[in-house]
Amino acid sequence: MEIIKVNLVKSIDDSYEIMIGQDWGSKIIAYLKEKSYGQKYAIITDSIVQQQLGMKFKNALRSAGIKCDLFAFRAGETNKTLAQIRKLATKMLHKSYNRSDCVIALGGGIVGDIAGFLAAIFMRGIPVIQIPTSLLAMVDSSIGGKTGVDLDIGKNLIGVFYQPKKVYIDINFLNTLPQKQISNALAEIIKYGCIYDKDFFTYLEKNIDQIFQKDPKVLSFIIQKSCEIKGKIIEMDEKESNIRMILNYGHTIGHAVENLSRYKILHGYAVAIGMVKINEIAVSGGLMGKNDADRIKNLLNLAKLPTAIPGKFTWPQIEKVMMKDKKVKNGKINFIICPEIGKAKTIEI
């Protein structure tokens, strides 16, 4: 018998910077000119951001002598599909994009997921830069390299880990953000306090009104703190084999609620519901104190988030969807609980 070994031991540095500030427009262009990530840039966005920022951003890049094109898809989670990836890739090919080029994700979390996945598989991988325009994307989806699309039976079931080359966060993008989108992001922000940093949780309790008032100092702090916490967790476990799983607190139930609602319930709203439900399960099993569970529920209420499963969805329906989740192992579902605020652990049910 002949044995041939293909030696592929390697060391890869996928480190990147998250740049947080205000009025990043001109600075981003300067960075792109200074450090070229591609000969030309495919700006991926959705139909809403296309009108608000996309066209302006494309024209600014072109005016600076940077080659680029804008590719937009209809906004909404229902368009986060393999079919959409195929359409965007085909459009890029028609514009002669190749392995020397780069993708820019300009938009919220759905845009970031689609653009990141597209970059990961286009020509077997080209660079991607994340420019999140929603608070939720700034504190969550633009960081960590999770990319992918949904299937009818579940969320984010097709995807890869693919880290961006850079993340640019411009707080000014939040000036026109609707209140419901602030609430949508607050579920993820509160989650960081619940699973990792009790002091941050307390800060959120004391400053919730200033967040809705869009106080720039407060917004800057909560974005920076959220990015730091997620960054630390990802450094320890890039591909969710261990500690990174704690970032899924509230998500297993939340994703099932999203799916059953056909994504009419926003991601953060669903995660808030999931956090409260898993807390109730943990309290009933003696794994969490009721005072901490009540405190989390109260903060979610202050953040104008729902805290109960909609009456039209039954627990058996939710369980059926959860069994299709990526976190199911040997017929059991992995849940993240908080024994106390600031700490998290995994349990199987």
Tell me, what CATH number does 289's domain have?
A: 1.20.1090.10
Shared-domain flag, residues 247 and 284:
yes
| Angle (deg, nearest 10), helices 179-195 and 216-236 | 50
What pLDDT is recorded for position 166?
94
Among 50-54, 270-274, 302-306, the least confident range? 50-54
Contact 179, 132 (CB under 8 A): no
Q: Residue 110: inside a domain, yes or no?
A: yes
User: DSSP labels for 206-244?
Assistant: HHHHHHHTT-HHHHHHHHHHHHHHHHHHHHH-TTSSSGG
Instruction: Answer yes or no: do 91 and 196 share one domain.
Output: no
Specify if 7 maps to a domain.
no
User: Span 102-120, mean pLDDT?
Assistant: 97
pLDDT at residue 28 tops 80: yes
Is position 251 annotated as part of the catalytic site? yes
> Which one from 77, 79, 156, 188 is the annotated catalytic residue?
188
Look up the pTM and report it.
0.90
339 and 297 in a common domain? yes
Residues 168 and 205 in one domain: no
Verify whether residue 248 is a known catalytic residue: yes
160 shares a domain with 256: no
* Minimum mean pLDDT range among 19-23, 211-215, 228-232, 272-276: 19-23
pLDDT by residue (tens digit) across 146-202?
Answer: 999 999 888 889 999 999 999 999 999 999 899 999 999 999 999 999 999 999 999
247 and 258 housed in the same domain = yes
| Whether 291 is catalytic | no
Same domain, 274 and 312: yes
Q: Does residue 74 fall inside a structural domain? A: yes
On whether both 183 and 170 belong to a single domain, the answer is no
Q: Is 74 noted as a catalytic residue in this protein?
A: no
Q: Which residue has the tokens 């926003």?
A: 266
Do 277 and 314 belong to one domain? yes
Domain that holds residue 98: 17-175
Count of domains for the chain: 2
130, 155, 175 - which closes a domain? 175
Predicted confidence (pLDDT) at residue 222 exceeds the cutoff of 90: yes
How do 332-337 and 345-348 pair as beta strands? Answer: antiparallel
For residues 159 and 197, membership in a common domain is answered with: no
- 175, 196, 219 — which closes off a domain? 175
Asked, for residue 84, whether it belongs to a domain, the answer is: yes
Same-domain pairing of 318 and 210? yes
Determine whether 280 is an active site residue: no
Q: Is 326 a catalytic residue?
A: no
Structure token pair of residue 118? 């597209």
Residue 1 lies in a domain: no
- Residue 56 belongs to a domain with what CATH number? 3.40.50.1970
Q: Which of 240, 277, 297, 327 is catalytic?
A: 240
Catalytic residue, chosen from 58, 80, 155, 267, is: 267
**Residue 9 forms part of a structural domain:** no
* pLDDT at site 239: 83
Residue 10 predicted with pLDDT over 90:
no
47 and 154 in a single domain? The answer is yes
**Mean pLDDT estimate for the chain:** 93
Residue 301 has pLDDT above 90, yes or no: yes
Cα–Cα dist 68/192, whole Å? 36
Is the model's pLDDT at 336 over the cut of 80? yes
pLDDT at 315 over 80: yes
Distance CA 148, CA 158 (A): 5
Q: Is residue 6 part of a domain?
A: no
Q: How is residue 78 written in tokens?
A: 């229902």
Q: Look at residue 12 and tell me if it is in a domain.
A: no
